[in-house]
Amino acid sequence: MRRKYLATCNPGLEDVTAEEVGSVLPGSRIVEVRDKRGRVVFESPYGEKWLASLYTLRSTHSISLLLLEARVGKDRGALAKIRDLSRSSGAARLIPEGASFAVRAERIGEGHEYTSIDIARYAGDGIGAAYEEVYGVKPLVRLGAPSIVFHAEVDDEIFRLGVLIAGEKSMHRRGYRVYDHPAALKPTIAYGLLRLAGARDGSTIMDPMCGGGTVAIEAALLFESPESIICVDKSPRHIRGAVLNSMAARVSSRIRFLVHDATRLEEKISPGSVDYVASNPPYGIRLGDPWSVRRLYDRFLPSLHRVMKGGGRASIITADSEYFEKAARRAGFRVLHARKVRHGDLWASVLVLEA
Ligand SMILES: C[S@@+](CC[C@H](N)C(=O)[O-])C[C@H]1O[C@@H](n2cnc3c(N)ncnc32)[C@H](O)[C@@H]1O
């Protein structure tokens, strides 16, 4: 039996998720990629071995078994449709008798005459009414620690209802972050940077401004036998944090940590030795001085170019793509690709460079 699933992911990295789904779940088919919406709908066989594989996805935030998709519109009339559709969706039959449930909702896009709270309430009413029809008693709705969690969303005009099957906690929370870097990257974005750089097993991978080590840890979790994973930061405190995080992820022995300045990489790293780089240099927004970051780019990129192999690739996330791109070209890189990726409240840019 084949079923449809909804994967949510970091907006801007939907193609990375679609590719991962294809490689982790052979035989699956991508039905829709909602560009910049962080949504990928796919179809795949349904069964125990497939469900277990879903947990291994590293680019997704949640996975739902999709129960329905229907156009409901943006005016308030949509709410009655959401209730009726949820009632007839079969969702109630997924709740074991006596178990509690909750609906978590999202609203994506602009111009709706209702909120995500309305979506959750009307979908919950519909599922609750169907539960009463099935079991003859009122359902147990529990917002904290429910047994079953439904995901309801309106994406522009489309209503989707699914049941979360890989846990309610976002899958980007890997559990290894014992040291909380103040500007830590979501592990799902770190994974995306590695994929966009084209990083491969057996190669040398580096994050020259690694903070709490997210990129290096994701690389160590992804690849079985990399030549080397190098994690550089000028701050001894962040490097200590990165070591702690990598110990929590059980990969510390596979990463080389260096307290060093990324504008002088060649002092510690052999020239022409690094195949892939994925990194998140400071945005400088909090410093309020774009020129301090630009000066950093000007000094960092030539040094990075020197330690990378010819043809090696770097994917870098930045809030100042225009300047970064110019500085990268001046340093001798070719810019292969640029895209917008949602990073917290910001649409940042990811640039893929070739040395
Ligand atoms: C945005 S944070 C990286 C966060 C990291 N991706 C994580 O998930 O924790 C940028 C890091 O660059 C480091 N940094 C800034 N200038 C540097 C330099 N010249 N050399 C090395 N590291 C530098 C900072 O100490 C900071 O930890």
Report which of 24, 23, 22 is spatially closest to residue 33, judged by C-alpha positions.
22
Q: 112: Cβ below 6 Å to ligand 1?
A: no
Assigned domain for 312 exists: yes
Q: Are residues 136 and 222 in the same domain?
A: no
Q: 60: Cβ below 6 Å to ligand 1?
A: no
CA-nearest residue for atom 14, ligand 1, is: 209
Q: What is the distance between the alpha carbons of residues 189 and 281, in angstroms, rounded to a whole number?
A: 14
1-28 residue pLDDT tens: 788 999 999 999 999 999 999 998 888 9
Separation of first and last alpha carbons in the chain: 47
Which two three-digit tokens encode residue 16?
């990375």
Q: Are residues 48 and 104 in the same domain?
A: yes
Band of residue 262 on the pLDDT scale cut at 50, 70, 90? very high
Q: 274: Cβ below 6 Å to ligand 1?
A: no
310-344 residue pLDDT tens: 999 999 999 999 999 999 999 999 999 999 999 99
Task: Give the nearest ligand 1 atom to 212 CA.
Answer: 9
Report which of 274, 200, 261, 198 is spatially closest to residue 235, judged by C-alpha positions.
261
Q: Are residues 206 and 152 in the same domain?
A: no
Q: Are residues 160 and 196 in the same domain?
A: no
Q: Which domain does 102 fall in, by range?
A: 2-164
Domain-ending residue, one of 107, 130, 164: 164
Assigned domain for 169 exists: no
pLDDT score recorded for residue 281 = 95
pLDDT score recorded for residue 286 = 61
CATH number, domain with residue 60: 3.30.2130.30
Q: 259: Cβ below 6 Å to ligand 1?
A: no
Which two three-digit tokens encode residue 64?
């739902």
Assigned domain for 181 exists: no
pLDDT score recorded for residue 33 = 96
Report which of 76, 108, 86, 1 is spatially closest to residue 45, judged by C-alpha positions.
1
Assigned domain for 173 exists: no
Contact 162, 103 (CB under 8 A): no
Assigned domain for 119 exists: yes
Q: How far is the CA of 212 from the centre of ligand 1 (A)?
A: 8
Rounded mean pLDDT of 104-109? 95
Q: Are residues 213 and 302 in the same domain?
A: yes
pLDDT score recorded for residue 305 = 98
What's the chain's length in residues? 355
Assigned domain for 249 exists: yes
For ligand 1, mutation pick of 172, 178, 210 (most atoms within 8 Å of CB): 210
58-101 residue pLDDT tens: 999 999 999 999 999 999 999 999 999 999 999 999 999 889 99
- Output helix, strand, coil percentages for the chain, rounded to the nearest 5: 35, 30, 35
pLDDT score recorded for residue 144 = 82
Band of residue 290 on the pLDDT scale cut at 50, 70, 90? confident
CA-nearest residue for atom 3, ligand 1, is: 211
Q: What is the distance between the alpha carbons of residues 149 and 162, in angstroms, rounded to a whole number?
A: 9
Q: What is the distance between the alpha carbons of residues 189 and 93, in angstroms, rounded to a whole number?
A: 36
Contact 282, 293 (CB under 8 A): yes
| pLDDT tops 80 at residue 346 | yes
pLDDT score recorded for residue 287 = 57
Q: What is the distance between the alpha carbons of residues 63 and 116, in angstroms, rounded to a whole number?
A: 19
Q: Are residues 197 and 344 in the same domain?
A: yes
Contact 306, 265 (CB under 8 A): yes
CATH number, domain with residue 289: 3.40.50.150
Q: 241: Cβ below 6 Å to ligand 1?
A: no
DSSP string, 176-233: ---S--TTPPPHHHHHHHHHHHT--TTSEEEETT-TTTHHHHHHHHH-SS-SEEEEEE
Q: Which residue has the tokens 């870098």?
A: 316
Assigned domain for 177 exists: no
Q: 233: Cβ below 6 Å to ligand 1?
A: yes
pLDDT score recorded for residue 98 = 87
- Tally the domains of the chain: 2
Q: How far is the CA of 194 from the centre of ligand 1 (A)?
A: 17
The pair phi, psi for residue 141, each rounded to 5°, is -95, 120
Contact 227, 203 (CB under 8 A): yes
Q: Are residues 62 and 209 in the same domain?
A: no
127-177 residue pLDDT tens: 999 999 999 998 888 878 899 999 999 999 999 999 998 778 888 998 999
Q: How far is the CA of 209 from the centre of ligand 1 (A)?
A: 4
186-195 residue pLDDT tens: 999 999 999 9
Q: 39: Cβ below 6 Å to ligand 1?
A: no
pLDDT score recorded for residue 58 = 95
Q: Are residues 153 and 25 in the same domain?
A: yes
Provide the 3-class DSSP secondary structure of residue 15: helix
193-241 residue pLDDT tens: 999 999 999 999 999 999 999 999 999 999 999 999 999 999 999 999 9
Residue ranges in the chain assigned as alpha helix (H): 14-24, 48-54, 77-87, 116-135, 187-197, 214-222, 236-248, 290-307, 321-330
Q: What is the distance between the alpha carbons of residues 36 and 33, in angstroms, rounded to a whole number?
A: 9
Q: What is the distance between the alpha carbons of residues 153 and 203, in angstroms, rounded to a whole number?
A: 41
Q: What is the distance between the alpha carbons of residues 251 and 218, in angstroms, rounded to a whole number?
A: 9
Q: Are residues 123 and 219 in the same domain?
A: no
**Who's near 187: CB < 8 A, 6+ residues apart?**
58, 172, 174, 214, 217, 218
35-50 residue pLDDT tens: 999 999 999 877 777 7
Q: Are residues 122 and 244 in the same domain?
A: no
Q: 263: Cβ below 6 Å to ligand 1?
A: yes
Contact 233, 225 (CB under 8 A): no
Assigned domain for 180 exists: no
Provide the 3-class DSSP secondary structure of residue 117: helix
CA-nearest residue for atom 27, ligand 1, is: 211
Q: Are residues 117 and 241 in the same domain?
A: no
Q: Are residues 210 and 289 in the same domain?
A: yes
